[in-house]
Structures are given as C-alpha cells and as structure tokens.
A = this chain, B = another copy of it.
Amino acid sequence: MPKDTFFHLPLEKRHLIEEVAVEEFAENSLHTASVNAIVNNSGIAKGSFYQYFENMEDLYKHVLKIIKDRKLDLISSLPLPANNLDTFRYLQRLLQIDLAFELKYPRLAQVERRHNFENPVTSSIDPETGQRLSGDGRFHAFLSQGVFHDDIATWVDTDLAAYVLGVVSRWLSPYLLERLEQDSGKAVEADLDVSSDPHLQDLLQNLMDLLMAGMAREPQIRKDFYSK
C-alpha cells in the first residue's frame, strides 16, 4: 500500500501520478516499468516517489486496486438488470461490462490484460469444494446457474467452458471496438452506450447466438438426446 504521504497529496497531483503510472504499466510489465520514466513524466522528484511508495510493486498493486474499484463503480452505474435475468441475458451483460470498461478506461483495460498475460491463471482449485475454478469465477457462476435452471446442457464441461468464456471476454472488447471503428469509418466515442448501439448489439448478438445454440438446451442439441 502506498504511504500516507501519497494520500495527503492534493487530488490533482495524486491523479496525475496515477495516470502516468497507468500509462507506464500499460506499456511495461511490473518488472520492466521504469521509476525514472514515471518520475519524469509526472514531474515529481525521484525522492518523492519513494516518499509515496515503498517501491514499484507498491504502486503496481495500487493501480490494480484502481482497476478493481473502477470496474465495480462501472457495474453499479450500468442500468440495473431485471431481477430474474434470463441466463443468456446474464452472459450478455457480463460481456457488456467488459466492453464498457474497455470503452471507458482503455488504458486500464490494457494494464489488466498485461497483468493477466504476465500472471496467467489457467486454473485454481476451490479450497471448499475441491473443484477446478478457472479464471475469476464469473463464468463458473454463470454456468452453474445456467445448468441449474436447465438453460445449459448438462454435458458441457463447465470448467473448460468457463475458461473459454474468460479468454473470449478478455480479448473480445478490443476487437469489437476496432471493428466498430472500421465498419463505421469514424472513431468510437468514449461515452457510447454499449447496451443500445445497434451495430454493437448486432455483433454481440451474433456471438451470443454462436455460444447459445451450442450451450442452450432448446432447441435440440445432440448430446442431450443421449444424456436425457
């Protein structure tokens, strides 16, 4: 955690340092990021850096926390979904959240991608159930719910599916945004409404169809013929 001094800083100065750090971590990993670069780009003295942070890792963890906070803020700012969200509307919402985050904080999203690349987590074991738990758990939760509600076929290997969904959601956003720009011929505005833009909805729906028809039980899916 950054030292107290850092949090006593005028907000403007603090935010400047944070912005510069984000930019640095977007282009460099924790181990290759440069203290000197951050110091120079934010106009503070080298000594000040070490008055604010223990070391680079301290600042890095702080940036990761910013990412977490911003994402939570963003989720709560999105229009509240209906109480009984359809299984696949729920998945669509998960993808939309990542998309909105990419749109609003592209550099933070890049830092997150880099972090994920340097610290890959293909899986971890749930200490309670002993089951595999790939990724951040969002998609495991989605799949469990889906299977429970008979919306997802029972033959689906949920850990494999959760991993695949995680990978797709992580890399989908930059593709969709670049695609939007190329298709429309103009830059995408940062305040684009991800849940209403028609072209974006088309693309997202196309992906949803692709995923759904594979996992949805209705209409007939081959494997379910045998398993039930």
In the complex, the 3 A-B pairs of residues with the closest C-beta atoms, listed nearest first? A214-B214, A213-B214, A210-B214
Question: Is A207 touching B164 in the complex (CB atoms < 8 A)?
Answer: yes
A interface secondary structure, majority: helix
Question: Is A171 touching B179 in the complex (CB atoms < 8 A)?
Answer: no
A145 contacts chain B at the CB level, 8 A cutoff: no
A123 contacts chain B at the CB level, 8 A cutoff: yes
Question: Is A213 touching B221 in the complex (CB atoms < 8 A)?
Answer: yes
Bound form: Cα–Cα A182–B221 in Å: 29
Question: Is A223 touching B207 in the complex (CB atoms < 8 A)?
Answer: no
Residues of B within 8 A of A207 (CB): 157, 160, 164
A32 contacts chain B at the CB level, 8 A cutoff: yes
- Give the B-binding residues of A (Cβ under 8 A): 28-29, 32, 113-114, 117, 120, 122-123, 125, 132, 134, 155-157, 159-161, 163-164, 167-168, 171-172, 174-175, 178-179, 182, 203, 206-207, 209-215, 219-223
Question: Is A167 touching B171 in the complex (CB atoms < 8 A)?
Answer: yes
Which residue in chain B gives the minimum CB-CB distance to A114?
Answer: B117
Question: Is B156 touching A206 in the complex (CB atoms < 8 A)?
Answer: yes
Bound form: Cα–Cα A219–B222 in Å: 8
Residues of B within 8 A of A32 (CB): 28-29, 32
Residues of B within 8 A of A117 (CB): 113-114, 117
Residues of B within 8 A of A178 (CB): 122-123
Q: Kindly provide the distance from the CB of A166 to the nearest chain B CB, expressed in whole angstroms.
A: 9
Bound form: Cα–Cα A145–B156 in Å: 27
Q: Given known contacts A157-B203, A209-B222, A213-B223, what 15 new A-B pairs fall within 8 Å (CB)? A: A32-B32, A113-B117, A117-B117, A122-B179, A123-B179, A123-B182, A125-B182, A134-B175, A160-B207, A164-B168, A167-B171, A168-B168, A209-B223, A210-B215, A219-B220
